[in-house]
Amino acid sequence: MVEKIVNLMFDEYNIQAKLDKEHEEFYFPLWETISKITDCDNPKEYLENIINKERENGIEISINSRHVKNDLEEIEVINAKDLFRIVQIIPSPQAEPIKLWLAEKGLEGLDEIKDPELKISKVIDEYRQKGRSEEWISQKLESINNKNRLLSFFELGNPI
């Protein structure tokens, strides 16, 4: 797994995620993350109890974790989608910053559906934050536009 380590800050605690570049997916250390957002000593038991309570209410929560080698030990990791689903059911003040962040991202997504130009502005701002020059950004956007026109030509048989 080709990876990049990313630190996500939520209020006073840090969650370390690994980006699997091959599959383009973030993975989080499951039990360490649950422990941080619940302040409990036994995250496995805690999570099992919440999942059982959800099951009693007719809601099925499934966790698709996998084991990966981390330095000298093997750890259980979970992808971002499953982690965020779990966070939604955790009744802990430590989970609130993540829940608020998820709500903000959901609202941003709805705003971008309403006004697609917001996505373009967001991409341009992110490139600027990464230190890209205006010329580089312009060339990148032109390259994306040209690629889309070429794909449209091959898919539809006519240029845009």
Could you read off the pLDDT of 29-53 as tens digits, one per residue?
A: 899 889 888 888 899 999 999 999 9
Pair of tokens at residue 43: 């995250």
Longest CA–CA separation in the chain, Å? 61
Query: In this predicted model, what pLDDT tens digit does every residue of 95-128 receive, in sequence order?
Result: 888 889 899 999 999 999 999 899 899 999 999 9
75: nearest Cα among 122, 36, 28: 28
- Helix/strand/coil for 109: helix
pLDDT digits (tens, 9 = 90+) for 136-154: 999 999 999 899 888 888 8
103: helix, strand or coil: helix
